[in-house]
Chains A and B, each alone.
Chain A
Amino acid sequence: MKSSYREAMRSALREALQNDPRVFLMGEDVGRYGGSYAVSKGLLEEFGPERIRDTPLSELGFVGAGIGAALGGMRPIVEVMTVNFSLLALDQIVNTAAALRHMSGGQFSVPLVVRMATGAGRQLAAQHSHSLECWYAHIPGIKVLAPATVEDARGMLAPALDDPDPVVIFEHAQLYNLEEELTASVEVDIGSARVRRAGTDLSLITYGGSLPKAMQAAEMLAGMGIAAEVVDLRVLRPLDTDGIVASVRKTHRAVVVDEGWRSGSLAAEVMARIVEHAFFELDAPLQRVCSEEVPMPYAKHLEEAALPQAGKIVAAARAAMGKA
């Protein structure tokens, strides 16, 4: 049956709440309002205000409270409205959640899930549009997921809740209305990259909101006689180096597509791993398509110009193929 990404996420939340009394959802407007992206709509009525817990505008406070509740035996899911707002909670995530196990000599686990929307494309300008997944992927001690398909939106939450360590889930705001076929029972891992389209000529390696653009680019390239393979990273920390390298060994060319800014990007890390592990497999210099280095502008044509787009991916792929 067809499901939207939003419905898939809601259904994953509902299942988690039904299966485990320790699970609760907490965040700004998750209850009465129904979630700023309507993901948790209806859950307050179903599970009540104790377990669908509206919070004040206190990102630092309620993310930290989620860490404490996880330590105290609960399985909290904390929703932060967007990655931009999560910067207000960064201290608790980096200095406490990610560090606690190590800093305590392995005595404490923080089984916390933090979900947040990320990404641009809706003319929300420079304080609601950024892609900072890379910042989180830099931190030892946390796991970072980027579901880019309806199946992953449905399936990644359960293993994230089972994980004894903090897991951050990035939901690209442009994906919420994505509709795809979904089977009744979904079981996915949170350890590996996945090939979303097989190809032999070059690898388009991407994640999150850029996956549909890479798929579109692959289709355009097919029309030009270029068979692109599309690799969805899915898990941004720890990166599935083997999965990335396996694709490059097959195609010998790669373009990395990343909505983050170019400098110090996740794309840079992926390229470095390819160079470290498969340098002699490469037939052409690596390419990347990232966001332009500008705070996201409001005007539609400027926002579109700032972001990776299928046309830019095609151009980078053709360059990698030696076809200008």
Chain B
Amino acid sequence: MNTTTVPYDKAFALRLLKDMLRIRRMEEKAAELYGAGKIRGFLHLYIGEEAVAVGALHALAADDAIVATYREHGHALVRGVSMNAIMAEMFGKQQGCSRGRGGSMHLFDAATRFYGGNAIVAGGLPLAVGLALADKMQGKRRVTACFFGEGAVAEGAFHESMNLAALWQLPVLFCCENNLYAMGTALARSESQTDLCAKAAVFKIPTLKVDGMDVVATHEASHNGATHVREGGGPLFIEFQTYRFRAHSMFDPELYRDKAEVEEWKKRGPLHTYSARLKAQGMLSEEEFLACDAEAQDEVEASVAFAEAGTWEPVEGLTRDVTALATGVAS
């Protein structure tokens, strides 16, 4: 376990803890609601990986852009999308952040420049390159942070996007969340080169390899990476070494990995290891931890009530937002 000093003031140190708790409690509730049939479709939980989104997103500025994957509840939440809007979206209600058109995999929010919610593996990378190109052409000093799993590195879109970003020196922070399994396929079973940073280095993109279970490490690396990108240093690639504690989706029987391996990773769980460090430093008491947890759970309960009280969009509105004219019907 990492025992280095947490280098933040108490307020920020607790902010990181609270955000990890908010994701954890929201997703535990989502899993429960899935079982109850309130949430349907695919539901991909981020449990175990919270330190990545929390550390990375707290290193970004309010006008930076985020492109994420279908395992993005945590990213949306930390970015500032309300838990109410996320929960309502998973319920399919029109008060959801995508009006019930996206569901768990397609959370979007224009106000916080949160560009989804992309459920095609590596599909978000070209998009991020384009957002960064627009910023560069318009002289805006903004970063586009693009999250993707290690499975994405097998896709052509990964290589094409890395090349374009490096060739044109675009302000993209590539955030690779390496949780070791692309659905059920272990990295070594699908890649001849398993060193992900080596893949990025081929494009002459600087890289950082980080313990993704340690929120201090993810935050420091993301801060350094984002600074490099913002200051015109071109794209940067961070490999966050992490692990998902739950199945790939709610349909996954987990036949491809040992329970012992999961248990071993759980020992490095981002919540309890970070809490222990804060306690050891005298920055957190058990009472304070329980209070943070209670606060997160209250927010979850309120979001469920909000989603329950939400309304279904009338079917008359089915074809709205297909085009700007909203004709929808092939007329």
Question: Which A residues are closer than 8 A to B by beta carbons?
Answer: 24, 50, 55-56, 58, 60-74, 76, 91-92, 95-96, 100-109, 140-141, 143, 163-165, 237-239, 241
Contacts and interface: CB of A to CB of B under 8 A. Distances in A.
Given A56-B167, A106-B321, A140-B328, 4 more contacts: A68-B126, A164-B324, A237-B330, A238-B331
A61 B138 contact: no
Given A96-B123, A105-B99, A69 B320 contact: no
B138 A74 contact: yes
Given A67-B127, A68-B134, A107-B110, A61 B331 contact: no
A61 B167 contact: no
B126 A64 contact: yes
Interface string B113-137: 0011110100101111111111101
B322 interface: yes
Contact of B324 (A71, A95, A109): A109
Contacts of A60: 126, 156-157, 160
B109 interface: yes
B48 interface: no
Given A69-B131, A107-B108, A238-B331, A64 B101 contact: no
Interface residues of B, number: 48
Q: Is the interface of B mostly helix, strand, loop or mixed?
A: mixed
Contact of A65 (B65, B98, B102, B133): B133
A145 B14 CA distance: 55
A47 B118 CA distance: 34
Contacts of B157: 60-61, 64, 91
Contacts of A141: 322-323
A163 B324 CA distance: 8
A69 B323 contact: no
B322 A63 contact: no
A66 B134 CA distance: 9
B165 to A, nearest CB: 9
25 contacts: A56-B163, A56-B164, A58-B164, A61-B160, A62-B164, A64-B161, A68-B144, A69-B137, A70-B130, A71-B115, A72-B130, A72-B138, A73-B138, A74-B138, A91-B120, A92-B126, A95-B123, A102-B321, A103-B117, A104-B108, A104-B117, A105-B100, A106-B320, A108-B115, A165-B324
Interface in B67-123: 96-102, 106, 108-110, 115-118, 120, 123
Interface in B135-150: 135, 137-138, 144
Contacts of A239: 330-331
A105 B130 contact: no
A139 B166 CA distance: 33
B127 A107 contact: no
Given A91-B123, A95-B120, A109-B324, A72 B98 contact: no
Contact of A101 (B126, B321, B330, B331): B321
B185 interface: no
Q: Which 7 pairs from chain A and chain B are nearest by CB?
A: A68-B130, A64-B126, A72-B134, A61-B160, A105-B99, A104-B108, A106-B321
B161 to A, nearest CB: 5
B322 A103 contact: no
B131 A102 contact: no
A106 B99 CA distance: 8
Contact of B130 (A56, A69, A91, A165): A69
